[in-house]
Every structure is written in C-alpha cells, then in structure tokens.
Amino acid sequence: MSVHGGESAEGVEVTRGFSPAHSGSFPLPFWQALLLAAATALLLTLSFPHVRLHSLAWLALIPFLLACRGQGVLRGTVLGLVLGIGFQAALLSWALFFGPLALVGLVLFKSVAPALLGAVLGLRRPGGAVGDAFFAASAWVAMEFLQTLGPLGITWGMLGQTQARVPVLIQVGALVGPWGLSFVLALTNAAVAGWVVRWRASGLREGTRRAGPALAWAAGICALALLFGAWRLAHPPVASGPPLTWGVVQVSMPQDVKWDPAFQAETMERLEALTRQAAAQGAQVVVWPETSIPYRGFLQMPGLVTRVSRLARDLGVWLLVGSIESAGHQATLNTASLFSPQGRLAGRHDKHRLVPFGEFLPWKRYLPPLPQLDLVMNYLPGPRPHPLDLGGTPVGVLICYESMVSHLPADLVGQGARFLVVPTNDAWFGETSAAAHHFDMAILRAVETGRPTIQAGNTGISGFVSATGEVLSETRLMERGVRVALLAPVSEETLYTRVGDLLAWACAGWVLLAGLASLSPRSGEGQPA
C-alpha cells in the first residue's frame, strides 16, 4: 500500500522529490514486516522483569520501525496490532486471574494505541535522518501517553520501565517524568533503524554518512541523560526534617485463602504479630498491605476498629491499614485508614484510580450478563487523593494500581506530600514476575517526585526506595516478615512535579501536526535523506 500516490512494478514507492535509493522509502514485503513486528513484541517482553534483559530495550524497536516504513496506513495499523497484541498478551497474562475476558479486554484496549502508532509510522513519508528519528521517538512517546489518558488509562509496559534498575539512567524522570527515558530509548532505536535503512539503500559508507547526524543526536542526548543522572546521584534531594523509621508488614496470605472465613482469625493474628515485630525493631510508622483486613466493612465493625486502634496505641506507632468498605448498592471502596499512636482514626484514603476490567467493568450496562463478567469486582473510585497528616508530615498514599499512574504521585507532592506510601496486594500476580514489575514502578515514582517511597505488599514485593531510586531493602515473593528502614522527608520539588507531562504533550502535538501535514499533496517534496 502506498501513501505517495504511486508504486512501481517492483514495489518501490515513487515519491516526488525523493530518490528511493537515497531515502530508503521502499516498504518491506508485508510478510517480512509482520515477522519484524512480532520480533519487537518478543524483544520488548524479554526486556521486562519476566526475563529482565533490560539492555534489549535499546534495540527492541528497530524491527518494528523497519517494518512500518512505507507500508501505508492500513498495513501500518495491522503491524501495530501485531506488536500490541503480542507484547501485551505476554505482559498482562496475570489478568487471567479475573478470567479470560479480562485478559482479552485489557490486551485489546492496550493494543489500540500501538495500532495508531503503526498507522502514523506507515503514513510518514521518509525524509532526513534526524527528522525521521525524532518523529519516531515522539510518536512512541505519544503512543504511551495516549494509553494513560482517561479513567481507562493503563501504564503497564512503558518502555522506560525496562531501565528501572539502572539508577544513573532513570534520573531523567526528575526532569520530564516517565516520558524522558522512553524518548531517549526510542530515539536511539530510531536512529539505528535509520542507519539500517540508509545502509541498505546506499551501501555501508554512504549510509553511515547519511545516518550520522541522527546517530550523533541520539548519542548526545544519551550522554546528557547520563551526565544528569550522575550529577543527581551525587547531589540527592536534601532532607526537610527529622527522619522517621518505617516498617512494612508482609503476611504472604495466598489470594485463594485470604478471604476464606477459616483463615480470618489467623490473618489478623499474623498482622498483629508482625506489627509488634516491626515496632520492636524501632518502627514509628507501620504499613499494612492493601485490603489487609480480612473482613469487609472494617470501619463499620466497632470491635475490630477498637482492636486495631488499641494495637497502634499499645505500640505507640502510626498504623496504616487496608480494607474493603461499603459504598452502598453492592458497591465497595478500596480504603487505607491511618491510626495515630493515640489510637485515633487520623485519616483515610479511598482508592481513586481503579483497574479497568479488574476492579470495575467499563461499559458494563452495554455488555451481556455473562457469568465470566462476575469475576470483575464492583469498586467505586474515591475522591481526588490528598496527603494524610502523619503528625505534621504530609504523606501521599497510592493504593496498588495508583502507583502506576505518574501524575497521581506528582499531584500529591504538589499538595505537600513528603513521602509516598504504596499499600498493595500483588497476590493477584501469583509468583510471576509481575510483582517485580510493579515494584519497579515505585522506583520510578520515587525518582520522578524526589520522594522516599514505601511499598507494602501482601505477598510481596515490599520494601523501601530512596528519593533517587536506590532500593534500600526489598522482600522476596511469598516471604513472611517485616522490613524496617530510616527515611527522611523531602520537601524539594522536582521539575517534573512542576511542569507535569509537558514533554508528552509536546510529542503528541508534533506528531498530530506532522501527521496532518503528511496529508498535504506537497508534503512529499524535500531533500534526500
């Protein structure tokens, strides 16, 4: 399929003002393009914690970028779907816990943006090496940004997440959020892909000369990111007050027994014993996992509330506990309640950002009454999150999935939060690497906001992350026990918490304008690459 108005008998596009031999504007045979799109899906999957070959992310997009070049809108869309479905089906396999329809729904929803990306890249008329590389990187970031918008936004599987365990690289998040590292990675991929195209079209020497400027830009931006990362690691955010000793409790109750009435008493006893253990190690604040209380409607059960408040008072600790609370009409809220060392209920956070197809079912009223849909829970979103007051220290609480949405912690920091706390129940993931993927997001949120971050998981991973993304301590999956760490509050704001998703909006705007310009009859005119 040609977007240039003509195609030769050999399948080489004829573009007014361009020489195919110079620009490399020829598309690959479609069957080869499909294989390349599938190759990128595989390489991306291997880059994430499932295997954690994070270095592959620097090359993983090259096959897809080569596949889309010159394919046109329709074939580009198909290539994007191949990438999206292949990659997301592997990365979101944990959603099978909610039933096959949940997995299918999530995968298809997450594949819409890659399909649009394929269409945009297929429509793009090849031009100069630098312009092509920056356009491809911007298109990738715009695609990731699109996936986060609205109540169905899902951030699972963003390119920059592959580098979460590379401290010097992830510091760029403090400047422009999660989009910066994705841009650097995508730009590097695009510059190398452009070199491959020009090498194929013009030979090694001439192709390298023509692709050289794009490679130089990519190398230069990578170098700047590394220099900033090294500087920030050497100059971490300064403490704004006396440190607090935090404790996290990991009870490791499998999901299939967590709500079994036969285990409720044991769960409470285990939570209390571990809390006493954390307090004995000096913890001033103890965090329980998401929905850790094994009784629904905890806050409406005076005897159970008294039991928890007495525990906080007897130990003299702040205690943050998770529960499921009634919202009326058979709906529920996912709640974190804060008890003071005096045993008073000092604050409450109701989960604001819910998991689509897991905690709520989009478009439920339009779907048939299938038994499989009953696996999807009926949660309601809470109000806009606000920091909880920990005796004069504002603390931002992000329940599970909320830590995957970068603008939520940035908003909490803008409201004054000095710490970020993530109660979670990753037992849904079983013993897969998805829990490690989730913990990686806590690392990125710490860097982006410049806030020490505490995560407490039912079955793991629980731990502590410094304001520069250093993992101070973390548990193993299914380990039962506590972790304790001394962390200082931080009030200094990062550039990202001030400017927000400016880079993502800029990328999306440029891609949109460039896409509209490509529809112009004269947009193909220009200089050879």
Q: In sequence order, what DSSP letters do the residues of 48-94 get, joined into one string?
A: STTT--GGGGGTTTHHHHHHHTT-HHHHHHHHHHHHHHHHHHHHTGG
Is 311:319 a contact under the CB 8 Å cutoff? yes
Look at 4-13, 211-220, 458-467 and tell me which has the smallest mean pLDDT.
4-13
- Active-site pick, 13, 258, 400, 448: 400
pLDDT tens by residue, 1-47: 333 433 333 333 333 333 443 444 568 999 999 999 999 999 999 99
Q: Which two tokens stand for residue 88?
A: 């997301």
**Which pLDDT score, from 0 to 100, does residue 192 have?**
96
pLDDT tens by residue, 233-273: 999 999 999 999 999 999 998 877 877 888 889 999 999 99
152 band by pLDDT with thresholds 50, 70 and 90? confident
**Which pLDDT score, from 0 to 100, does residue 519 have?**
66
**Which pLDDT score, from 0 to 100, does residue 520 have?**
63
State how far the Cα of 52 lies from the Cα of 313, in Å rounded to an integer: 43
- Active-site pick, 144, 290, 402, 448: 290
In this model, does residue 156 exceed pLDDT 70? yes
Is 251:425 a contact under the CB 8 Å cutoff? no
Determine whether 258 is an active site residue. no
What's this model's pTM, rounded to 2 decimal places?
0.89
Q: Which residues, 6+ apart, have CB-to-CB distance to 428 below 8 Å?
A: 94, 97, 255, 358
The share of the chain scoring above pLDDT 90, in percent, equals 68
**Which pLDDT score, from 0 to 100, does residue 307 have?**
97
369 band by pLDDT with thresholds 50, 70 and 90? low
In this model, does residue 375 exceed pLDDT 70? no
State how far the Cα of 127 lies from the Cα of 142, in Å rounded to an integer: 20
Q: Which one is predicted more confidently, 81 or 149?
A: 81
pLDDT (mean) for 184-190? 98
485 band by pLDDT with thresholds 50, 70 and 90? very high
**Which pLDDT score, from 0 to 100, does residue 96 have?**
80
Determine whether 290 is an active site residue. yes
The share of the chain scoring above pLDDT 70, in percent, equals 89
State how far the Cα of 90 lies from the Cα of 226, in Å rounded to an integer: 31
Considering only CA atoms, which of 45, 90, 108, 38 is closest in space to residue 66? 38
Q: Which one is predicted more confidently, 188 or 92?
A: 188
- Active-site pick, 68, 258, 351, 402: 351
